[in-house]
Amino acid sequence: MEPKGILLETGTNELEIVEFHVANNHFGINVIKVKEIIQPIPVTFIPHAHPHVEGIIQLRGEVLPVVDMIKVLGIPNATYGAQQKYIVAEFNKQKVVFHVDNVTQIHRISWEDIERPSDMYQGGTSQVIGVIKQNDNMILMLDFEKIMVNINPNSGINVDSVRKLGKRNRSEKRIVIAEDSPLLRKLLNDTFNEAGYVNLEFFENGKDAYHYLETIANSGFDITETIQLIVTDIEMPQMDGHHLTKKIKTNSDLQKLPVIIFSSLITDDLRFKGEEVGADAQISKPEIAELIIKVDELIL
């Protein structure tokens, strides 16, 4: 099975998710991240690997790690059933295989229908970034980037890469950042501060960020005197980064603002989606030094 459901239109605030099951629990992954879905094949054991890594497989000449989703999710006394599948995914410039119980169907939904997890049940270590209600079931959207960073911390954002850029002067330029992950908001804050950018406004989704920009624009001020640049993720509940960028670039009061899309979904095959909505630049996570260099080019 190869998902072919990449939306033809960009900026509609819709996405398609592949629903999969692990121990009778329903989860979702963005179709854009999925390369293919295959039957399990023999795994080569790797000594002293991370506990969540079953081993490696060879798929058409590529050696890929296999991640055990039962262990990732901490489901006790669970085993894989007869319909188990491998989801071959690509994001953050890496390929990985997720071992799941079953893959059922593809849903097309709006980001507005994805609820942000409550702090009460999310917890500091939760891998859930959104909740989708489907009839009597709930589908949990997982933070696959966080899952991979937990396995390999070197795959995440590295502040040291910004320090290598050299001594930085403090800048009063104000930057609006839309990013739903609390962990990444903290890392982006630390990284931008290290780079000299200390005047930051963070929002958990594109909807809140756009409302903030609209409020400033409607107050009669030239938006570029207050805000100098927008950085946005793509995957966010309520309003995704492509839709946010499209709304900014089609609003006569906001369209002068430079927008950088900073996402794990920036690939050669998908770069056109950001271009269609008018993004000034697109940087793949976790290339934070490249992001800072591009920010410098656009507003200094």
* Pairwise CA distance, residues 28 & 113, whole Å: 14
pLDDT the model gives residue 134: 80
pTM of the model: 0.86
In this structure, of 57-61, 108-112, 152-156, the range with the lowest mean pLDDT score is: 152-156
Whether the pLDDT of residue 5 is over 50: the answer is no
User: Could you report how far apart the first and last alpha carbons of the chain are, in Å?
Assistant: 47
pLDDT the model gives residue 22: 96
Q: Considering the chain, what is the average pLDDT of its residues?
A: 89
The answer to whether residues 230 and 258 touch, using CB atoms and an 8 Å cutoff, is yes
Per-residue pLDDT tens over the stretch 243-297? 999 999 999 999 999 999 999 888 877 789 999 999 999 999 889 999 999 999 9
Q: With bands split at pLDDT 50, 70 and 90, how would you rate the model's confidence at 130?
A: confident
Q: Is 73 helix (H, G, I), strand (E, B) or coil?
A: helix
pLDDT the model gives residue 125: 56
| CA quadruple 63, 126, 107, 177: dihedral, nearest 10 | -90
Per-residue pLDDT tens over the stretch 141-192? 998 988 998 898 877 777 778 877 877 888 899 999 999 888 789 889 999 9
